[in-house]
Amino acid sequence: MKTLAKLPVTIVTGFLGSGKTTLLRHMLDNAQGRRIAVIVNEFGELGIDGEILKQCSIGCTEEEANGRVYELANGCLCCTVQEEFFPVMRELVARRGDLDHILIETSGLALPKPLVQAFQWPEIRSACTVDAVITVVDSPAVAAGTFAAFPDRVDAQRKLDPNLDHESPLHELFADQLTSADLVILNKADLISPEDLARVRLEVAEELPPAVKVIEASSGRVPLDVLIGLGAGSEEHIDSRHSHHDHHHEGEDDHDHDAFDSISIELPQADESLLLDALTQLVVQHGILRVKGFAAIPNKPMRLLIQGVGTRFDKHFDRQWGIDEARNTRLVLIGQELDATLLEAQLRAALSV
């Protein structure tokens, strides 16, 4: 009986809004016939990242596309890894003769190290190997000192005293994502000056093992041959990489990123400009890190995809509304200490709905 080779797995990590989903879409659009399964770890109740990726069916039927995306429920992979990740991987292992590669997109709030360590479990280790951990960096946000692009700009004290860096949960998470990396992508490189990009590269390099390569990209456009086939075998050496959160998985229940909230809001159809203005105001007033979702625009037959990082919003009409599909606006807001009732009330008042 033929022994199947280990199935390579690429883990894509990075902070909120760094461009992970965009990178995965690029990888799927350029799969060149490779049979790829995708696991999306969605932080939010609406499964928006999963829906975005399901559009990358590369000629598959809708049923086949749905079968290619395994969407884990709300929460970060480091918290749900035993409860949900294992059965999903077991199903993929059973089908590994039909697959060439697995892509895993972690939540922007997830710690990559526990996920990589899960590939040491005997049932997974015998069938899969971590080809690489790819960390996607939001270059403009790092240049601004915020790591994730949100309105509260860099704290002057942090600039003056490097010893204060690790007082920030955001910086600890950013550093841990880099510590686990086998490849780092400085994304959105076209949105900052060459001088700022060089500074970002130096700052990132301080957190990296010497052998880790750092490349630049715009909108996640990197040749697929650069992203897969690295053969890093990350599970073999992940234990030797120190992270700030190692002790959190030795009997402690608390996680720094528990301070993050994910608020789901459903609204009726909304005027496009009013909605974007209202969301911008919410971001400024409440320090919202990330906005993503779909909007129903009056008299438009297509659904508007909205993705916001801080006050920067990208939008485009992604597909026709289904015949029996409810034309509602569905949004996820991610931030710290968010008041769901207040945010929804403010948004409805601004839209007068």
Give the pLDDT confidence of 85-98 residue by residue, as tens digits.
888 888 888 888 88
- Tell me, what's the pLDDT at 246? 53
Q: What is the dihedral of CA 30, 32, 37, 38, to 10 degrees?
A: 0
Which strand (E) or helix (H) includes residue 264?
strand 260-267
Q: What is the largest CA-CA distance in the chain?
A: 66
pLDDT of residue 14: 85
CB atoms under 10 Å from CB of 38, counted, come to 23
Detail the DSSP E strand segments found in 108-182: 128-138
Q: Which residues of the chain have pLDDT under 50?
A: 1-2, 57-61, 63, 150-168, 245, 248-258
pLDDT given for residue 288 in this prediction: 80
Question: What is this structure's pTM?
Answer: 0.67
How high is the pLDDT of residue 258? Answer: 44
Check residue 155 and give its pLDDT: 38
> Taking phi first (over 0 means left), then psi (-120 to 50 degrees means alpha), and beta for anything else, what does residue 338 get?
beta
- The residues pairing with 308 across neighbouring beta strands, listed in sequence order, are 291, 313
Measured CA angle at 23 (ends 34, 94), to 5 deg: 40
Between CA 38 and CA 27 the distance in angstroms is: 11
Rg of the chain on CA atoms, in Å: 20
d(CA 71, CA 40): 5
Residues 6+ apart with CB under 8 A from 83: none
